[in-house]
Every structure is written in C-alpha cells, then in structure tokens.
C-alpha cells in the first residue's frame, strides 16, 4: 500500500514538473498541450506520460516530435525536482480518452435518435 502511494505521489509530481516545463519552453508545437496523466512503474524507472492537444492528426504528430526532441530536457527537469535515485525514463503517449468518449457520445446519440425495431 505504501508503495502504491509513493508511485501515485511521484506520478503527480512528474505531471506537475512537466506542465511547468512545457510552459517555460518556447517551442510553439507544445502550445495548448495538456499533460492529462502520468503512470509510473513499480520500480519508478519508467513513467508513461499521457498528453492531449486541440488539433488534427498533423498537430498531434508535431507535438509527439516536440516531446521526443525535448525528452532529455524533460527528464533532467524531473530529475532535479524528484527525490529519487535516478530519473525515470519518460515515454510520451497521446491520450485517446477524449476521442473514445466522443465516439461513445456519437453512438449514444445515434441510438437515441434511430427508431427501434420494436416500434415497427
């Protein structure tokens, strides 16, 4: 239980550090990017960072490239802020939660508007 609390605290701290670092960067590709969540491995060596951005697929690709290009800077920022033996490896992923929610909402509205087969 204590290990899970530590993992959660470390993940929250990484999220805060990354958000602050993104604001300080002058890379226009990271404009309007939100770090939605972070999950860390049990040994705290790997952190999966989930992000979202307003825009189309090309915008997402540009943001992914920006994260890749600045991954060393992000890792050093995290290392300087965390009290861990070594900075975790940061892996960046586009957060598909909003896309999935949008698709579910569309399906639900279609179900509501389509006549049921029992009505006929």
Tokens (6 digits) for 117: 């087969």
Q: Exposed, middle or buried: residue 49 (CB in 10 Å: 0-12, 13-18, 19+)?
A: buried
Structure confidence by residue, pLDDT tens digits, 13-66: 999 999 999 999 999 999 999 999 999 999 999 999 999 998 889 999 999 999
Q: How far apart are alpha carbons 102 and 9 in whole angstroms?
A: 30
Region for residue 47 given its phi and psi (left: phi exceeds 0; alpha: psi -120 to 50; beta: otherwise): beta
For residue 112, the model assigns a pLDDT of 80
pTM higher than 0.85, yes or no? Answer: no
94 pLDDT tier (thresholds 50, 70, 90): very high
Domains of the chain: 2-119 (3.30.300.20)
Task: Of 51, 49, 48, give the one whose Cα is nearest residue 63.
Answer: 51
Instruction: Look at residues 48, 56, 52 and name the one whose alpha carbon lies nearest to residue 22.
Output: 52
């Amino acid at each position: 239980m204590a290990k899970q609390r530590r993992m959660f605290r470390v993940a929250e701290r990484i999220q805060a550090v990354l958000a602050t670092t993104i604001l300080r960067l002058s890379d226009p590709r990271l404009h309007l990017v939100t770090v939605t969540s972070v999950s860390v491995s049990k040994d705290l060596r790997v952190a999966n960072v989930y992000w979202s951005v307003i825009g189309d697929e090309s915008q997402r690709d540009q943001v992914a490239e920006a994260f890749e290009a600045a991954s060393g800077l992000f890792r050093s920022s995290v290392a300087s802020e965390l009290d861990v033996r070594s900075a975790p490896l940061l892996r960046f992923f586009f957060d598909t939660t909003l896309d999935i929610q949008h698709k579910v909402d569309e399906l639900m509205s279609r179900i509501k508007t389509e006549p049921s087969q029992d009505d006929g």
